[in-house]
Amino acid sequence: MFSLVQFLVIPKKPIVKLPEAESSNESSLWHLMTASKQYAANSGLTVEFWRAVNELPQGRQAACYLHLPLWANVTLMAWHPWCSEHHLQKSEDKY
């Protein structure tokens, strides 16, 4: 049995919203992705994990800056209110 693991990756230079990111933010945005992967590996998280960027109130953005939450040890994010078997199936059909 696994327990839920969650942490946030936050860029040093604040970016308020993803649509407002500029090309000068590209390396910071990429660093968010690679840093979260490295932190997961350093923390011994060997199972799959999920990263998301919540955008604006409709996207459930709770903080007024861009951050990357990472969840691990959760099977298919079934606990998340936005996920359902129907939604996951439709997403898989696209690829």
Query: Domain range for residue 78?
Result: 5-93
The CATH number assigned to the domain holding 9 equals 3.30.428.10
- What's the mean pLDDT in 11-25? 81
Cα distance between residue 20 and residue 88, in whole Å: 29
Percentage with pLDDT > 90 across the chain:
0
- What's the mean pLDDT in 48-68? 66
Cα distance between residue 60 and residue 80, in whole Å: 12
Residue 29 has pLDDT above 80, yes or no: yes
Model's pTM, two decimal places?
0.56
pLDDT, tens only, 61-72: 566 667 777 777
Would you say 8 and 65 are in contact if contact means Cβ atoms under 8 Å apart?
no
Number of domains observed in the structure of the chain: 1
- What's the mean pLDDT in 56-85? 61
- What's the mean pLDDT in 5-18? 77
